[in-house]
Amino acid sequence: MVGSSHEALHRVFQKDPALLTRALQKVLRVPFPEPRDFAVLNADVTEIEPVERRVDTLMRVETDDGAYLLVVEAQGKKDERKRGSWPYYLAYLYEKYRCEPVLVVITQNSTTARWAAQPIRRGLPGWDSLMVRPLVIGPDNVPVIASEREAERDVPLAVLSAMTHGRGAQAAAILEPLAFALRTVDGDSAAVFGQLIESCLADSRAKEIWRNLMSEIRYFFNNPVAEKVREEGRVEGREEGREEGRLEDRAEMTLRILEWRAIPVPDAVRERVLGCSDLDQLEVWAHRAVTAERAEDLFTGGGA
């Protein structure tokens, strides 16, 4: 059982190690070599003296350019002690494994992200004996994936999006499309991802929404009739029904976001949203629902 956002933020990479290198490439635009193999290593960096030191997640990545150590640290707030321990971790791990170490910090907090991204310099002014430049993944650079189609293209990245934005106002826009995208992966993976996401949601109402969605997903995987529909949905010729389902799901999600934010929804707004047959327009309205002050604000700036 994952009990905290700190644990969830780095354990998602243990569930899908390739997600970390994709995040470096796609989110941070770091030219990390294409991986060939991964190995999750013992995260203990304790020496002989009785002082326990442990990184959150440690992985060895084999590439055509050589092996790298990915050191993942989940950070909830500023902690100046880390500016001493992080350089130690990297030096110790290089000496132990003789692989180039890469420090990746993941956080849900923008202020913490900016703090963590500052280079750590040790030595004389103007002459650094040691410099550490953390790579930081957080809400300012992870995209908000609020489209079911986009979530289905890369489910683990959509999970990372939900986790890093789990304490922000945009979390609601991510949950429902992600829940439907989880139906495209195996049941065990969906259960693990669902638990990790729940641990990262700060708002009690968001947690309740997510638990309800996960109940629907568990029914979907465990019910034989639902499983048959799932398989049939992959067969060519079912796309029209699938598209109708997308429209209905997105319309209901838009209204649910407003209701979750305690914004009254007049009948005229509800009818217009439920009657819309343009998926792109519904996605625009879903995004506006996250920040709208009135239900009618969905339609500002033009629309269907």
Summarize pLDDT for 138-147 with one digit per residue, the tens.
999 999 888 8
Residue 104: per-residue pLDDT: 95
pLDDT digits (tens, 9 = 90+) for 231-244: 554 444 445 555 66
What are the two backbone dihedrals, phi and then psi, of residue 38, each rounded to the nearest 5 degrees? -125, 150
The per-residue pLDDT of the chain, averaged, comes to 82
> Per-residue confidence at 158, pLDDT binned at 50, 70, 90?
very high
Q: Residue 35 forms beta bridges with which residues?
A: 63
Tokens for 272?
Answer: 């217009």
For the cut 80, the answer to whether the pLDDT of residue 263 exceeds it is yes
pLDDT digits (tens, 9 = 90+) for 27-39: 888 888 898 888 8
> Per-residue confidence at 272, pLDDT binned at 50, 70, 90?
very high
pLDDT digits (tens, 9 = 90+) for 173-191: 788 888 888 888 888 888 8
Token look-up 């150590």 returns: 69
Helix segments in 98-203, DSSP class H: 110-116, 148-153, 155-164, 171-181, 187-200
Tokens for 204?
Answer: 């009690």
